[in-house]
Structure 1
Amino acid sequence: MLRTTLRTTALTTTLYLLASSLAVAADCDRIGNDAVEIGQIIAAGDTKSAVKQAEKLAEREVDCVEAQLLLATTLNARLDMVGGLKALSVSKKYRRAIAAALDIDPDNVDARTEEIGYLIAAPSIAGGSREKAAVRIAELRTIDPLAAAQMQLSLSRSGNDPDAVISSLQTLVNMAHSDYGPRSELARRLILAGRTDEADRELSSWAPDLSPDAWVVLEHQYLRAATRVYGGFELDIAEALLRQFIEARGHLDHPRLPSIAKANALIGSTYEGRGDFDKASDAYQATLRDDPDNRRAQDGLARISERRGE
């Protein structure tokens, strides 16, 4: 149910964006108000009524790409609320709405990305196809290369190939230099893949002061420290970065920021890597007081106990 709530919230936001930025053509001048109203109905959880209203709108504005896209988006919201044969029926209507939007404007980026997202996420019985998604992404690349790169990342994430995700992120980072999100994810994935030198280069090539958000600066600092811990180099610098992170983290709460317990676990690893097992043990124990299930701290204490013959 949580997934449905989050999905519905995202779709409601999409509908508001359609209302404010897409419905500007003279023959679509009433789409904005309809989009807002339909978004409110979806937010209230009544996707059935929202679909009915969107269908009436699409029939009235049959030549308006935004109206057809609005119907498709609303049907997509409805898909999260139904199952079985009903879901198959809704998915058919969804695909017809997307096809109608693209018939009106084959170069409409929003309609194309909506279609690609569906092809990636939907099961094959409902028309989903990673192969078709790849073809559509190639077509989108000639219209909007950045949007195509973002959809390629979505396609890569849906597979089981970490290297493909890293490659997609690298492409996106090269195209959107000022966007921290892809660079942050790229650094994390490079760290987990053991490619810490590459992760450090990515982080060093981006100045956190480019962002007005304080949490971005802190996450960037944490990732720089994590790169050194996982790579086993400059552990004294990693410790200093982590202590600065912990001090600032106590005054800033953000869902993207790692916890203080995780930072303490990494500090334990810097001590362990430098052979100071007493301080490492203290840091790991401090971690477990706040986060009893922290695997890094548990494994670190086990290694230290084994080394001491305990």
Structure 2
Amino acid sequence: MSNIYIQEPPTNGKVLLKTTAGDIDIELWSKEAPKACRNFIQLCLEAYYDNTIFHRVVPGFIVQGGDPTGTGTGGESIYGTPFKDEFHSRLRFNRRGLVAMANAGSHDNGSQFFFTLGRADELNNKHTIFGKVTGDTVYNMLRLSEVDIDDEERPRNPHKIKSCEVLFNPFDDIIPREIKRPKKEKPEEEVKKLKPKGTKNFSLLSFGEEAEEEEEEVNRVSQSMKGKSKSSHDLLKDDPHLSSVPVVERLVSCWYDPKFLIFCPPSLFLYLDYWMHLSRITQSWYYYGFGCASLLLTLHHVYFTLQTHSADHLAACFL
């Protein structure tokens, strides 16, 4: 194992990945793989990898990440197009803890990368090695693979990169870009549809169905009663027990009847009958009060007549 490390060239550059499995220190071979290292460092400075998941795990082989879409088909390089592979004779897939570019074919490198979990000679001259995991953080890197995966090598609860920190940047001319991240579109079922103005919307209420039924019942009753409802005045006109002569005319005739120089009992009884009838129809205490007042006036008149006139005169008033 010591001979392997002696053969590897010295590193020049360092990045710290803060993941949900712990911190991972990565030293870079910026001289041997300058394009890959520049791409990786700048993406770290731009927070491109923040909150991205390790979307692929092959036990004993690799752990792959670096795709902002989390699908394994996304991500792009800082160059705008895929960049070429960079192979070096002293960098071989002969152990765990190596960092290399993931690609779909020759010279198709973007933003995705992977860690090796063991020796992988079949990857030599196919993927660009640009870094290695150092120190005890290699155990945190191994923890990335300790997850439950499905049949398509996707973790059911994947680890993710929380943030990146460039500890040593060998490229002084790197200027991070301002990346506008696209907003995630909401599913169609979550988009609220606007309703026309003037309509009632019970869908937001917990008792919406009951309210709608009540509203329908009110509308149904209103339609059935349309043209049939009558005012109290109309009801009085239809009552056969009441005279068709207006009350005012009847009162005036009583007032100016030669037989009655004062309020006569028949007129007061007319008051009583009128107000009591109104109170029965309208069920209002307001008219009932007027009826009671008429009764009191009638009794007062009877008493006054008995005191000042004879009983025959009182009887004559009712003839």
Quickly name the TM-score band, shorter chain normalised: under 0.3
* The structure with more strand, counted as a fraction of residues: 2
| TM-score, length of structure 1 as denominator length | 0.17
* The structure with more helix, counted as a fraction of residues: 1
| TM-score, length of structure 2 as denominator length | 0.17
Say which structure, 1 or 2, has more relative contact order (CA 8 Å, 6+ apart).
Answer: 2
